[in-house]
Amino acid sequence: MKRYPLIVFDWDGTLMDSTAAIVRAIQAASRDLDLPEPPDHQARHVIGLGLADALGMAVPELPKARYAEMVERYRHHYLSRDHELVLFEGVADMIEELASAGWQLAVATGKSRLGLDRALRYSGLERFFNGSRCADECHSKPHPQMLLELMTEFGVSPNETLMIGDTSHDLLMARNAQVDALGVTYGAHPGEHLDEFGAVHCFDSVTELSAWLREHA
């Protein structure tokens, strides 16, 4: 019997090695609008939020009247190269193993629906995921709406659901939904930061994460 019949993954920085590309796109969009270019750590911190929220936080000098322009420039820079991004080593095998063993798998992401669908298609993982929620369909993390809707869709309780992510936004969303969470330290937020937000455990590699899921999930 599975402890967590539903496992929900964040996408960027958890399954796909996209953190650096997101940071570069935020910085390039800032230059396009003649705004101060945020340092890497500032741009990394907002990964996982809905795009407009993320850009506004990463570039506090951005006037609200120019949010749409900033979003367009970010998407221009990111989408021109997103098909070149790769999954973290071991992710494809882990996801296929979990799906084959009967877990229900879902994604809760700060990406748009268009962006997630592109990523699922390019990565080859689309067939393994049974559901997903995106930031343009729900409140942005750390609001619990994404997890609450997925639990309703799959007919599971918070005690039967596990969230896995690389940012404090993921862990806070899980806390707000009363769901257990695992953190991964190879993405956007460092391990010492994730430790503050109540993860059941944090992992430094996909190999470690996969082994824990086989034994404990």
Catalytic status, residue 34 = no
How far apart CA 84 and CA 135 sit, in angstroms, is 23
56-63 contacts: CB < 8 A, separation 24 or more?
A: 58/26, 59/26, 59/30, 59/35, 61/35, 61/36, 62/33, 62/35
Q: Which of 12, 53, 82, 170 is catalytic?
A: 12
Catalytic status, residue 32 = no
Q: Which of 10, 53, 82, 180 is catalytic?
A: 10
Q: Which residues belong to the active site?
A: 10, 12
